[in-house]
């Protein structure tokens, strides 16, 4: 009976929990008799998990026939591939998308600028900013904080715009810029990346009827605008302090969809619902954080190392393997440098080798240097939010050096310590003569009966000291001329 009671109580609790989770969404939808407008939050650096979150949110909105999707943006930038995925999902969405740089104090920097430009409706909250979309590089190669590649818009528009060599008028003035049409400074690869990104953002601005000239300058010159300046320069459609103001300003607007049709936004009285990432996406966002993935990798590697050097019940080894694989999974979602990975492996191997083959710190020092260089090179991008903090790298390097110093000190102390076992231990050991006659001379040394020989005659009871060994015969020297009283163990 008690089991049935517990089962019923558990079932009721489960249903109440499910209703409490699903209740707000259904209430928002039922209040207006139409699907609610989902609000997606794009906070922090843009990575693979962010792209999946936006793509899934747009797909769910299309399945629910939502009148519009709002993406609230506050990002310093992100990875090129993830930004391209988001832009592609917006351009192909059957549901209109409104990008809203919010709340106050937020920014749509770098890759966030491309997302705003690609959206059907672009808005900003007061005291926000947009721009600084110049691609950055590291190690002499392109590192696309702003995405490169061909534009996700009709190719003829992109090619025509990219081929245009006429002087470009300055944003807001209409006058030709003196630097328009001049070659982009930098190396060939840098020029290639910047030109490619400029062509893409110009094509996005053209497709949405926004300021093409400023969009290009945001890439080439890294320009940024405040909310009021963005509105004045036709970078965004309007300013909205909150969601109701956003819906009111967007209501009735006509937007062009992916199939080239024109849709009129009917948002009067529409409700909104926050659509947060599920636990899986939250986990992916956490693991795609370079710092978290890096720490999991190192802790897992050291766990396996400790299990190998001091075997126990296998707990450290199992936990270390799980953490190591989890860290590798997180890192594989990021742009990695294979040279950095190789240096990390080499550095860790040298630190381990210092333990098994003490080199008085040489292997440990070289391994630590390789480890630091590999950690700096590990994440092959300079996109905001995706670098390893220098304090973490320095801390791990200091820990490696500390471990190396401990083992070096142990090795030096071991060299100074007397031998505690083996034949070498007999050197200098005192003993006592217990037999001297025709059967040879025997002594009691280290609790054992040994045949001994010396350069002088030995008598029973005489104290001797071992000075050498030849097979099973010890070379000894007397410690005293006068023999002490025999203290021979009974046989």
DSSP string of 115-174?
HHHHSSEEEE-TT-EEE----EEETTEEE-SS--SS-SS-HHHHHHHHT--SPPBPTTT-
> Contact, 45 vs 384, CB < 8 A?
yes
Phi-psi region of 389 (alpha: psi -120 to 50; beta: other; left: phi over 0): beta
Q: Give me the helices (H) in 64-120, please.
A: 80-91, 111-118
Give the whole-angstrom CA distance, residue 342 versus residue 384.
Answer: 24
* Architecture of the domain delimited by 423-478: Beta Barrel (2.40)
Bridging pattern class, strands 272-274 and 37-43: parallel
> Contact, 147 vs 183, CB < 8 A?
no
Count H helices and E strands in the chain, helices first: 15, 18
Residue 58 CB partners (closer than 8 Å, separation 6+)? 69, 89, 90, 93, 95, 97
Structural domain boundaries of the chain?
Answer: 24-280, 282-416, 423-478
Give the whole-angstrom CA distance, residue 99 versus residue 83.
Answer: 14
Encode pLDDT of 377-402 as tens digits.
887 666 666 677 888 888 888 887 77
Q: Which residues pair with 101 in a beta bridge?
A: 73, 124
Positive/negative CA dihedral, 440, 445, 450, 456: negative
Half-sphere exposure of residue 123, counting CA atoms within 13 Å on the CB side? Answer: 27
The closest of 269, 266, 270 to 251, measured between CA atoms, is 266
According to the model, what pLDDT value does residue 75 have?
92
According to the model, what pLDDT value does residue 166 have?
40
According to the model, what pLDDT value does residue 412 have?
64
Q: Which CATH number fits domain 24-280: 3.90.226.10, 3.90.1010.10, 3.30.450.40, 3.10.290.20?
A: 3.90.226.10
According to the model, what pLDDT value does residue 152 have?
37
Encode pLDDT of 266-295 as tens digits.
998 889 999 988 888 888 888 888 888 888
Encode pLDDT of 391-440 as tens digits.
888 888 888 777 767 766 766 666 565 555 556 667 778 899 998 887 88
Give the whole-angstrom CA distance, residue 230 versus residue 117.
Answer: 12
Report, as ranges of residue numbers, the positions in the chain whose pLDDT lies below 70.
1-34, 136-186, 311-313, 358-361, 380-386, 404, 407-408, 410-425, 480-491
Task: Determine whether 366 is exposed, middle or buried from the number of CB atoms within 10 Å of its CB (0-12, 13-18, 19+).
Answer: middle
According to the model, what pLDDT value does residue 100 have?
96
Q: Is the pTM of this model over 0.75?
A: no
Task: Count other C-beta atoms under 10 Å from residue 419's C-beta.
Answer: 11
Strand order, beta sheet including 272-274: 238-239, 121-124, 97-101, 69-74, 37-43, 272-274
Residue with tokens 């009285």: 269
> Contact, 292 vs 286, CB < 8 A?
yes
Positive/negative CA dihedral, 40, 43, 49, 52: positive
Positive/negative CA dihedral, 303, 304, 309, 312: positive
The closest of 199, 204, 243, 241 to 116, measured between CA atoms, is 204
Give the whole-angstrom CA distance, residue 356 versus residue 304.
Answer: 15
According to the model, what pLDDT value does residue 199 have?
93
The closest of 264, 158, 265, 295 to 216, measured between CA atoms, is 158
Give how far Cα 100 sits from Cα of 146, 250, 345, Å: 19, 11, 44
């Amino acid at each position: 009976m008690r089991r049935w009671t517990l089962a019923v109580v558990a079932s009721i609790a489960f249903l109440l929990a499910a209703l409490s989770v699903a209740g707000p969404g259904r209430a928002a939808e039922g209040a207006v008799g139409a699907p609610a407008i989902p609000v997606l939050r794009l906070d922090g650096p843009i990575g693979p998990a962010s792209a999946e979150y936006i793509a899934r949110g747009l797909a769910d909105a299309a399945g629910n026939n939502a009148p519009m999707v709002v993406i609230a943006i506050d990002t310093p930038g992100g990875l090129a591939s993830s930004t391209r995925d988001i832009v592609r999902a917006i351009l192909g969405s059957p549901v209109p998308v409104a990008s809203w740089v919010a709340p106050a104090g937020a920014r749509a920097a770098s890759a966030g600028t491309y997302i705003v430009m690609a959206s059907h409706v672009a808005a900003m909250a007061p005291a926000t900013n947009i721009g600084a979309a110049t691609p950055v590089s590291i190690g002499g190669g392109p590192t696309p904080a702003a995405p490169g590649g061909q534009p996700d818009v009709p190719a003829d528009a992109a090619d025509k715009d990219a081929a245009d060599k006429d002087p470009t008028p300055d944003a807001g003035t209409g006058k030709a810029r003196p630097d328009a049409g001049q070659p982009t400074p930098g190396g060939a690869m840098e020029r290639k990346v910047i030109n490619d990104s400029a062509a893409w953002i110009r094509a996005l601005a053209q497709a949405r009827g926004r300021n093409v000239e400023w969009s290009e300058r945001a890439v080439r010159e890294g320009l940024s605008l405040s909310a009021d300046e963005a509105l004045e320069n036709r970078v965004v459609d309007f300013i909205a302090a909150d969601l109701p103001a956003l819906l009111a300003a967007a209501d009735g607007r006509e937007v062009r969809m992916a199939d080239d049709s024109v849709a009129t936004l009917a948002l009067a009285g529409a409700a909104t619902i926050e659509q947060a990432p599920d636990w899986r996406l939250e986990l992916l966002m956490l693991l795609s954080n370079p710092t978290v993935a890096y720490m999991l990798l190192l802790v897992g590697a050291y766990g396996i190392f400790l299990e190998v050097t001091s075997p126990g019940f296998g707990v450290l080894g199992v936990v270390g393997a799980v953490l190591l694989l989890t860290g590798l999974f997180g890192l594989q979602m990021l742009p990695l440098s294979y040279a950095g990975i190789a240096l990390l492996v080499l550095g860790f191997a040298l630190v381990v080798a210092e333990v098994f083959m003490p080199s008085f710190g040489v292997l440990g020092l070289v391994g630590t240097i390789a480890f630091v260089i590999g950690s700096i090179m590990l994440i092959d991008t300079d996109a905001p939010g995706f670098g390893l903090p220098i304090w973490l790298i320095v801390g791990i390097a200091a820990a490696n050096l500390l471990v190396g110093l401990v083992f070096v000190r142990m090795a030096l102390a071991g060299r100074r310590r007397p031998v505690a076992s083996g034949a070498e231990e007999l050197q200098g050991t005192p003993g006592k003569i217990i037999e001297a006659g025709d059967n040879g001379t025997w002594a009691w040394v280290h609790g054992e009966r040994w045949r001994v020989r010396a350069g002088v005659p030995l008598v029973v009871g005489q104290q001797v000291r071992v000075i050498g060994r030849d097979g099973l015969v010890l070379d000894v020297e007397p410690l005293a001329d006068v023999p002490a009283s025999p203290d021979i163990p009974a046989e």
